[in-house]
């Protein structure tokens, strides 16, 4: 694995560690130890895989030339091609995480 892929997985793991701690300390519901463990593990894996898939998609379809009518349009296109497919992959990974957690019966 490349260092970029490892960093993407580390970022997703850090985000889900924050999410797990946030849910642990802010909700009034006691969801059980396994729910928190599964949230952290499955969430990190699903979103990390989504981000890596988004990065692979971005590298495959990234255009060589961007055409824009003004500088604001060019700025928007550059920002999208910088992180857009990865964010879309993260959202799809989050959707898969929620589906898996519902199938386990751990998502309320």
3-state secondary structure of 69: coil
Give me the tens of pLDDT residue by residue for the chain, a chain 108 residues long. Answer: 789 889 999 999 999 999 888 888 887 777 788 888 888 999 999 999 999 999 999 999 988 898 999 999 999 999 999 889 999 999 999 999 999 888 877 655
Answer whether 41's CB lies under 8 Å from 1's CB.
no
CB atoms under 10 Å from CB of 47, counted, come to: 27
- Residue linked to tokens 């959707």: 95
């Amino acid at each position: 694995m490349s260092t970029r892929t490892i960093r993407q997985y580390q970022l997703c793991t850090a985000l889900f560690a924050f999410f797990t701690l946030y849910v642990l300390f802010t909700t009034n519901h006691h969801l059980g130890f396994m729910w928190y463990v599964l949230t952290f593990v499955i969430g990190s894996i699903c979103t990390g895989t989504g981000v890596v898939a988004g990065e692979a998609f971005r590298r495959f379809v990234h255009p060589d030339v961007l055409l824009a009518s003004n500088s604001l349009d060019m700025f928007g296109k550059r920002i999208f091609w910088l992180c857009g497919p990865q964010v879309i992959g993260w959202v799809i990974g989050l959707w898969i995480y929620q589906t898996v957690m519902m199938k386990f019966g751990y998502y309320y």
